[in-house]
Amino acid sequence: NKRYTIAVLPGDGVGNEVIPVAVDALRLAGSLEGLDLRFEELLIGGVALELVGVPLPEETLRKAKQSDAVLLGAVGWHVLIIVDFFFFFDKQPKWDNSPKHLKPITALLQLRAGLEVFSNLRPITVFPQLVDSTYLRKDTAEGVDIMIIRELTGGIYNAHPRGFTTNEQGDEVGFCTESYSASEVNHIARVAFDIAKQRRSKLCSVDKATILEGSMLWRKRVTAMALEYPEVEVSHLLIDTAAMDLVRYPRQFDTILTGVMFGDILSDLAAMIPGSVGLLPSAASDRLQGPGIFEPVHGSAPKHYGKDTVNPLAAVLSAAMLFRYGLKEENAAQRIEKAVSDVLDRGFRTRDIHTPGATLVGCKRMGEEILRSLDARVSVS
């Protein structure tokens, strides 16, 4: 049997509800494929701040580095979460006024940097069973299948110089730098071309090359690399136009390549095509050797925590990505994806994707039904 160690970092809030469901799915799908998976649970985020005093304990980073893949829940009370057709902006009640290195979300940036996971894969797919959940017109959303590839460890989030200062007028200034080097662009563009080639061979690179120097270089490098991939049809869009087109006619997109900040915004925008962040998985990886980070795109959602109502499918689909991109166990990945589709066929829906006539279930029950879809011998309470 092939053996793998998976670092499990449930983190804060609903991470503690969805990650156990994803672990069960990994364990069962893995055992059906004859894999021997070991899980090691580690602290991160607000819970780590409380117990250890730092958002990313040294032990967590060390063991994550030694693992074959990292399964992450959510960190901090920080992310915009959308459930039930209402928007909730979570305040950061507890760590709002802490210095940056003591904020829960810093753990996320430190973990990404520590594992050098520079490519962030965020698939946006509209399941045929869930086409009614879209915020767009149904005929606009139908059949959408997009892979957003977002650069993750460079750009405006990470580049230097950055900080706070005072200008000549004595005015306080906060600043950071939007920069990309040729090797950073080459790195991420290579990932995008290779993935586009395995999909429908259409790559759209999104930038702001009319204004930003980093974007000018970005566009130049992507254009140059396109010569190596004659089979891939390449286009370039400015971020503003891309945002518009993603809503107007999303089916035109196959693979989207973009930087850290535009990718952050576009992926939340695109989340409204399937209609719930509760459906969106993600993978962050390094194309060489190190372990990747697999996590649902939704955040810790404190308002929903403890009610057993959230959707575990984003976490479960992240588990599928963990098998596919992290462990290169494609069969196990497909088992999970088929089980998700089967659960939807059998009519089970959590609140965020519920429609009349479907069976409304909570997070735990959804998890049990996924296990049953993975293996009919599993008994469900």
Active site positions, annotated: 157, 208, 240, 264, 268
Q: How far apart are CA 55 and CA 137, in angstroms?
A: 41
Selected from 40, 264, 308, 342, the binder of ligand IPM by CB under 6 A is: 264
Structure tokens at 173: 């200034």
**What do you get for the CA distance between the two ends of the chain, in Å?**
31
Q: Which stretch binds Mn ion (CB under 5 A): 93-101, 187-195, 257-265, 329-337?
A: 257-265
In the three-class reduction of DSSP (H, G, I as helix; E, B as strand; rest coil), residue 93 is classed as coil
Smallest gap from residue 277 Cβ to ligand IPM (A): 10
Q: Which option in Mn ion, ligand IPM, none does residue 236 bind, with CB closer than 5 to 8 A by kind?
A: none
Long-range contacts formed by 32-36: CB under 8 A, 24+ apart: 32/332, 32/335, 32/374, 32/375, 33/329, 33/331, 33/332, 33/335, 34/1, 34/2, 35/1, 35/2, 35/3, 35/4, 35/327, 35/329, 35/332, 36/1, 36/2, 36/3, 36/4
Q: How far apart are CA 288 and CA 261, in angstroms?
A: 24
Selected from 29, 56, 57, 78, the binder of ligand IPM by CB under 6 A is: 78
CA quadruple 243, 159, 224, 191: dihedral sign: negative
Smallest gap from residue 326 Cβ to ligand IPM (A): 17
Q: Which option in ligand IPM, Mn ion, none does residue 122 bind, with CB closer than 5 to 8 A by kind?
A: none
Closer to ligand IPM by Cβ: residue 29 or 105:
105
Q: Report DSSP state, residue 307.
A: T
Q: How far apart are CA 228 and CA 298, in angstroms?
A: 36
In the three-class reduction of DSSP (H, G, I as helix; E, B as strand; rest coil), residue 171 is classed as coil
Total of residues contacting ligand IPM (CB under 6 A): 5
In this structure, are residues 30 and 37 in contact, taking their beta carbons and an 8 Å threshold? yes
Smallest gap from residue 145 Cβ to ligand IPM (A): 20
Closer to Mn ion by Cβ: residue 105 or 332:
105
Q: Which stretch binds Mn ion (CB under 5 A): 86-94, 250-258, 264-272, 346-354?
A: 264-272
Cβ neighbours for 176, distance < 8 A, ≥ 6 positions apart: 156, 159, 161, 162, 163
Is 90 among the residues that bind ligand IPM (CB under 6 A)? no
Smallest gap from residue 57 Cβ to ligand IPM (A): 19
Smallest gap from residue 268 Cβ to Mn ion (A): 6
Selected from 145, 194, 233, 264, the binder of Mn ion by CB under 5 A is: 264
Cβ neighbours for 214, distance < 8 A, ≥ 6 positions apart: 155, 178, 179, 180, 259
Closer to Mn ion by Cβ: residue 194 or 264:
264
Smallest gap from residue 241 Cβ to ligand IPM (A): 22
Q: Which option in ligand IPM, Mn ion, none does residue 108 bind, with CB closer than 5 to 8 A by kind?
A: ligand IPM
Cβ neighbours for 105, distance < 8 A, ≥ 6 positions apart: 45, 55, 75, 76, 78
Closer to ligand IPM by Cβ: residue 216 or 265:
265
Smallest gap from residue 12 Cβ to Mn ion (A): 16
Q: Give me the numbers of helices (H) and strands (E) for the chain, helices first please.
A: 13, 16
Closer to ligand IPM by Cβ: residue 238 or 265:
265
Is 270 among the residues that bind ligand IPM (CB under 6 A)? no
Selected from 18, 82, 108, 317, the binder of ligand IPM by CB under 6 A is: 108
Catalog residues that contact Mn ion under the rule CB under 5 A. 264
Query: Would you tell me which residues interact with ligand IPM (CB under 6 A)?
Result: 78-79, 105, 108, 264
